[in-house]
Amino acid sequence: MSGLPQPELHKDAKFVFLSDWDGTITDKDSNDFLVDNLGFGAEQRKADNVKVLTGESNFRDEFRSMMQSVKVPYEECKEVLRQNIDLDPGFLEFYTWCKENGIPLIIVSSGMAPIIRAVLEKLVGVAEASQMEIIANDVKYTDPEGKGTTWDIVYRHPESGFGHDKSQSIIPYRSIPSRPTLFFAGDGVSDLSAARHADLLFTKVKPEGNTDLATFCDREGIPHVNFLDFRKVLTLVKEVVAGKSTEQVIKENQ
Nearer to Mg ion, 95 or 184 (CB): 184
* Residue 206 half-sphere exposure toward CB, CA atoms < 13 A: 20
Nearer to Mg ion, 64 or 179 (CB): 64
Q: Which sign, positive or negative, has the C-alpha torsion 63, 138, 122, 10? A: positive
By CB under 5 A, residue 187 contacts Mg ion:
yes
Q: Could you write out the DSSP letters of every residue in 40-60?
A: S-HHHHHHHHHHHHTTSS-HH
CA-based Rg of the chain, rounded to a whole angstrom?
Answer: 18
Q: Is 22 a catalytic residue?
A: yes
Q: Is 191 a catalytic residue?
A: no
Catalytic residue of the set 22, 32, 48, 88: 22
CB environment 193-205: b (16+ within 10 A), e (fewer): bbbebbbbbbbbb
DSSP state of 174: H
By CB under 5 A, residue 88 contacts Mg ion:
no
CB 137 within 8 A of CB 155: yes
By CB under 5 A, residue 212 contacts Mg ion:
no
How many other C-beta atoms are found inside a 10 Å radius of the C-beta of residue 158?
A: 14
Binding span for Mg ion by CB under 5 A among 8-16, 53-61, 159-167, 185-193: 185-193
**Residue from the set 188, 194, 198, 217 that interacts with Mg ion by CB under 5 A:** 188
Site string for Mg ion, 1-40 (x = CB under 5 A): -------------------x-xx-----------------
By CB under 5 A, residue 199 contacts Mg ion:
no
Nearer to Mg ion, 162 or 180 (CB): 162
Nearer to Mg ion, 13 or 85 (CB): 85
Catalytic annotation, residues: 20, 22
**Site residues, Mg ion (CB under 5 A):** 20, 22-23, 187-188
